[in-house]
Structure 1
Amino acid sequence: MKLAINGFGRIGRAILRQILTTPRGAGIELVCINDIAPLDMCAYLFQYDSTFGPYPDAVAIEGNNLRIADRVIRFHQTADLSTLDLTGVDVVLECTGIARTSDVAGRGLTAGARKVLISGPSPAAERTIVLGANEADLGDGAIISNASCTTNGLAPLVKLLDMLLGIDSAHMTTIHCYTNSQPMVDAPRGDFARSRAGALSMVPTTTSATHLIDEVLPHLAGRISGAAVRVPTASVSAVDLVVRTSHPMAADFADTTLRTAIEASQVLGWTEQPLVSSDLRARAESLVLAGPETRRIGDHQLRVFGWYDNEWGFSARMLDMAALMAGQS
């Protein structure tokens, strides 16, 4: 599978680490990386990562190439991807965060690539697909959105619970680490609360998962609400979901039926350990359910809690989705 990465920020760099260091990278030819930042800065930020630690092999610059150990990767620095020749590329991993219009999102196709996968919600996408939830709807779309990290954690869990018990209604709160959309010190933003220093306060806000879940699982549209609290940690977030079920639960539902179904999932995980957020760093699952935090309240109400590395897990799904789009999964 031939890939190109457009945008070498948090997700682009995590994707490259996984290509180079995990089994997901087997059989992947990374044709090029494109980012408008200086190459020496991109190399530095890849080599020294505040979240995932220093890269274990040598990182160097050779002309317009990035050399990592014995692997040489062509590096471009154009603001318009359509000016490159990407003939033969199966999927462009569009990680710039600016692919909001069909013109920008389609530049990879104009450059000659077969398909484009956007690393976030985008109105320019033909479909929004979440592995474990609606990948059967992928079809032959050329521009696909991989939704959001929270939606990747929530949607497979919601689909599973709906299959097992039916969902009358639910509310999700994501306890989310701060991101680059928040200021380090108080500074004006579109949202008053999110204008406050991200590393100093817990900040109640909205989440895109609220509307994306309706798009990904339309038969549940209007039944699931959601909110977010941004917290002063740098990585790993959580989903806290309370569900009102259509059918009654057995007393041991969580320990038997739910756990068995989750452990059989390709994107969900389960732990019985009393973990904290830092323990889940660099976990590749979309969501890891915390068994000790599961609560059954009567026959029809269930509380589940799960962790997700919002960068590493989402980047793993980008590679999994790219393989599916390229017909190699």
Structure 2
Amino acid sequence: MTANDDSFTNWKTREEIAESMIPLIGKLHRERDVTVLLHSRSLVNKSVVSILKTHRFARQIAGEELSVTETLPFLRALTELDLGPSQIDLGMLAATHKADDRGLSVEAFTAEAVAGATGAGKIERGEGRDVVLYGFGRIGRLVARLLIEKAGSGTGLRLRAIVVRGGGDQDIVKRASLLRRDSIHGQFQGTITVDEASGTIFANGNAIKVIYANDPSEVDYTAYGIKNAILIDNTGKWRDREGLSKHLRPGVDKVVLTAPGKGDVPNIVHGVNHHTIKPDEQILSCASCTTNAIVPPLKAMDDEYGVRRGHVETVHSFTNDQNLLDNYHSSERRGRSAALNMVITETGAASAVAKALPDLKARITGSSIRVPVPDVSIAILNLQLERETTREEVLEHLREVSLTSPLRRQIDFISAPDAVSSDFIGSRHASIVDAGALKAEGDNAILYLWYDNEFGYSCQVIRVVQHVSGVEYPTYPAPAV
């Protein structure tokens, strides 16, 4: 047998193992609300090839490829446990078991590592929480995809309705079509049908009522059987407490804004300050995509090195706020063609840092350039540190943060030498550290942080909603603090 034959046989064997993992992962998700992860990447509803690629990607951050032969025993051990709703990381289980010197079996080690999700201390599955989307644009449709994907057993977040302004004939059909097909993010993973008579979109069995209204005051959500709902406003029309309070109608309990909040509206970056949300807070903001991209790595650097001052330059993909061709715009420069120009514009991300990181003493400034790509941006974070360091030390610190810290769902890490922006379409992290581009010398460090300003941000929004709804399940093994 040749080396080529050996390689192909090995591939087919790994395919077979990955195929055997799919029903186990699916059953845990549907029946117990357990999400199986691999280094913070969900394996739920993934294909054989996707599972294998996710295992291989571990080489980018952990230094060596993780094999399905290593993780399958841990997955099988999980199926034998009486698990409650949780997120369990197979990559972390395998890594911590390898580092453990007690000689425990996979079964015994797994039971110990996820003990908080079993027995009397486990979370009991609830009735679920209603969610309403106010607006159905770029972020609204991606949040809808995520809510439908995470429906699981039906006891978590439930997308009950979307509220939009009437758009004429076949409005609901056209909106369903935009949910079904996306030029950037591809096809919806599942089936979508429309009942025009009842004004309902059915997506993977989820019945989503389409409500037409020009103002929040026109809607009584209880008339649609919606109660105690979290409303996600992705229009950006109202950003202060007075405006967003219009959404607090019968059937709606909390309002989450997918744009920077103004005044006393809390700006929340999940992973950094979501724990500061007061239980009785009814209105909050998820800040901006750029704020979510820079705040977690800024916190990671400040915690380790201290930050004296910094500047963030964002090279940002164009958005619907710009014109395709030159035309009047209320903002300077944004009236010029987005598809043909680099456009200097403002960013509020730097000033928003203070709301998310009030203990940060450093002054952070910022500016932005819009460029002719439809998605994925990069933030260049230039920091003066309180102590000197080396490039190797900073890389090792950020790599470890992306693997084992409480920020591992926010910060990703890649060392691929030929990575470009389109490689990060669909990333679920708030930002991705580009190891090859990072610079550090003395007390200066320059971080290059990729982020999918649409999908990665939408994932952060969902995490905040999960937290305030009480269905943000704990992750095991627990990340290092």
TM-score by length of 1: 0.93
> Considering only CA atoms, is the larger Rg found in Structure 1 or Structure 2?
2
Q: Which residue of 2 aligns with 1:67?
A: 202
Q: Which residue of 2 aligns with 1:15?
A: 143
8 Å CA contact 1:203–1:230 kept in 2: the answer is yes
**1:48 Cα shift?**
2.2
8 Å CA contact 2:266–2:285 kept in 1: the answer is yes
The yes-or-no answer on 1:31 pairing with 2:160 is yes
Deviates more, 1:4-13 or 1:84-93: 84-93
Deviates more, 1:73-82 or 1:140-149: 73-82
**Compared with structure 1, are the counterparts of its residues 251 and 226 closer, same or farther at alpha carbon in structure 2 (3 Å cutoff)?**
closer
Aligned to 2:422, which of 278, 281, 302? 278
Aligned to 1:139, which of 261, 278, 302? 278
CA distance in 2, matches of 1:111, 1:310: 33
8 Å CA contact 1:101–1:123 kept in 2: the answer is yes
The yes-or-no answer on 1:119 pairing with 2:258 is yes
Q: Deviations over 1:40-60 (max 9, x none)?
A: 221121122111123243433
Deviates more, 1:263-272 or 1:98-107: 98-107
Q: Which residue of 2 aligns with 1:76?
A: 211
**1:91 Cα shift?**
1.2
The percentage of aligned residue pairs carrying the same residue is: 26
**1:235 Cα shift?**
0.6
Q: Deviations over 1:73-132 (max 9, x none)?
A: 111111223422255234111112212343431233223322111001122663111112
SS in 2 for 1:168: strand
- What's the RMSD between the two structures over aligned residues? 2.0
Q: Which residue of 2 aligns with 1:290?
A: 434
**Compared with structure 1, are the counterparts of its residues 180 and 221 closer, same or farther at alpha carbon in structure 2 (3 Å cutoff)?**
farther
The yes-or-no answer on 1:257 pairing with 2:397 is yes
The yes-or-no answer on 1:85 pairing with 2:217 is no
8 Å CA contact 2:239–2:257 kept in 1: the answer is no
CA distance in 2, matches of 1:242, 1:284: 24
Structure scoring higher RCO (CA < 8 A, sep ≥ 6) equals 1
8 Å CA contact 1:202–1:232 kept in 2: the answer is yes
Segments of 5+ residues of structure 1 without an aligned counterpart are none
**Compared with structure 1, are the counterparts of its residues 251 and 185 closer, same or farther at alpha carbon in structure 2 (3 Å cutoff)?**
closer
Greater helix share, structure number: 2
Q: Which residue of 1 aligns with 2:115?
A: none
SS in 2 for 1:169: strand
**Compared with structure 1, are the counterparts of its residues 287 and 231 closer, same or farther at alpha carbon in structure 2 (3 Å cutoff)?**
same
Deviates more, 1:280-289 or 1:27-36: 27-36
Q: Which residue of 1 aligns with 2:244?
A: 105
**Compared with structure 1, are the counterparts of its residues 202 and 251 closer, same or farther at alpha carbon in structure 2 (3 Å cutoff)?**
closer
8 Å CA contact 2:425–2:452 kept in 1: the answer is yes
CA distance in 1, matches of 2:452, 2:318: 12
8 Å CA contact 1:177–1:231 kept in 2: the answer is yes
Q: Deviations over 1:249-270 (max 9, x none)?
A: 1452123222212323221100
**1:22 Cα shift?**
5.1
CA distance in 2, matches of 1:70, 1:251: 50
CA distance in 2, matches of 1:76, 1:58: 21
**Compared with structure 1, are the counterparts of its residues 176 and 309 closer, same or farther at alpha carbon in structure 2 (3 Å cutoff)?**
same
Q: Which residue of 1 aligns with 2:455?
A: 312
Q: Deviations over 1:126-150 (max 9, x none)?
A: 3111112222321131100000000
Alignment size in residue pairs: 328
Matches within 5 A, 1:118-197: 118-123=257-262, 126-140=265-279, 141-197=281-337
**1:248 Cα shift?**
1.7
8 Å CA contact 1:99–1:124 kept in 2: the answer is no
CA distance in 2, matches of 1:266, 1:167: 23
Deviates more, 1:10-19 or 1:252-261: 252-261
